Structure 1
């Protein structure tokens, strides 16, 4: 499953995308393997810049990703007739990454506020079926991106416009669609639908405990088994 399907941006529209990093390692043995830069689509378009860079160690093969976020500001420079635009760093992160997948940075609106958020691929699991992404949501109030700390707990993320929430599809021996809301810097699960030989629908009650609200035999085909539910009350694909 390729999430963010409706928001995928072509590579030609990006300000910069490079799969070939510098072949010369730094003093610790790391070299840049892949880089993504955008200042046209994420956050406030044209006023926000994002940089993702993947580094690999030539010795032990360790991989990490460096992430920088910037916002555009005016700065007075002596001798200039008008203020000039500069990029001011607002936040930066550094995370370990798997050594198999690329950055696969994708841009789209995950909370329906009109500002594009951004993800990159952190890892892959479940024999390739579970794409693990790290999500950063743009906050227009402080003009910065919020790291959604548990986003990599929920693979195959996508925005659900029907319920104005986020879906995750977890592929194991069964297929589980989870329904999530963004709360501050985390995803909060409020319902789930598990499909195996039966369909089990659970919803979180006022005490934060999941209760079964529907249970019935699964009578679909193989294609239905892997579908994402867009509603759970009533069940709808």
Structure 2
């Protein structure tokens, strides 16, 4: 009997934890005709772990199908309650965002450190392109000095984002008729491309010069196989996967 109670308790808390992170929304429409289709909440992994909370929610219009996403950012705050004679914790709203979203993909929130500062940042999937190969991501970087996230405004221009620990930058892989690896640095609230490697029947390496123009620094025939064609380059000078 005791083991049964323990099993039930574990199952309850497992369900509760899963519900905390991702759940379906409320399909009852509001006065404007929108209903909550999907929700994601995290307070354990992003920003200052345990002291930062984010809430993503995806809304869809019941008639015309329009979709938008909201993001609320909270910081854990201590307040003194005189009547209780003690400190209490409460979530203080720091920032709110709202974005138009495609009507096909889910939120697919990903949590990762994109600038190697020890604080986890996050993305959500804002769209898809290129026959499904280009995952469009909206990136938010955590700023510990403000206890808040900043929206990287042009992140949607660079699909398939990942952190490149070798060059301490961000990579984007763009799939068209060729495969392009873009090398990006964060400048304020934007991504700045400083180099790229394009693979088709040949490999072309370009680097941005001091005037802001891209110059070809290497060009050679592509001799790899199909798998190599879609690989991410982690260095461009010299070329390395």
TM-score with structure 1 setting the length: 0.93
- Seen in structure 2, the aligned counterparts of structure 1 residues 136 and 189 have a Cα distance that, compared at 3 Å, is same
Is the CA contact (8 Å cut-off) linking 1:134 and 1:151 kept in structure 2?
yes
Structure 1 residue aligned with 2:101: 97
Shift of 1:214: 0.1
Is the CA contact (8 Å cut-off) linking 1:19 and 1:33 kept in structure 2?
no
Q: For 1:139 and 1:14, how far apart are their aligned partners in 2?
A: 27
Is the CA contact (8 Å cut-off) linking 1:14 and 1:37 kept in structure 2?
no
Count the aligned residue pairs. Answer: 227
Structure 2 residue aligned with 1:128: 132
Structure 2 residue aligned with 1:6: none
Query: What pairs up with 1:197-216 in 2 under 5 angstroms?
Result: 197-216=201-220
Shift of 1:17: 3.1
Q: For 2:46 and 2:21, how far apart are their aligned partners in 1?
A: 15
Structure 2 residue aligned with 1:176: 180
Q: For 1:79 and 1:170, how far apart are their aligned partners in 2?
A: 58
Gaps of 5+ in 2: 1-14
- Seen in structure 2, the aligned counterparts of structure 1 residues 12 and 229 have a Cα distance that, compared at 3 Å, is farther
Q: For 1:13 and 1:200, how far apart are their aligned partners in 2?
A: 47
Structure 2 residue aligned with 1:227: 231
Taking only aligned residues, the RMSD between alpha carbons, in angstroms, comes to 1.3
Q: For 1:42 and 1:26, how far apart are their aligned partners in 2?
A: 30
Structure 1 residue aligned with 2:86: 82
Shift of 1:21: 1.2
Gaps of 5+ in 1: 1-10
Deviations 1:41-97 (A, max 9, x none): 100001100000000000000000010001011112231121211111111100000
Shift of 1:14: 5.8
Structure 2 residue aligned with 1:38: 42
TM-score with structure 2 setting the length: 0.92
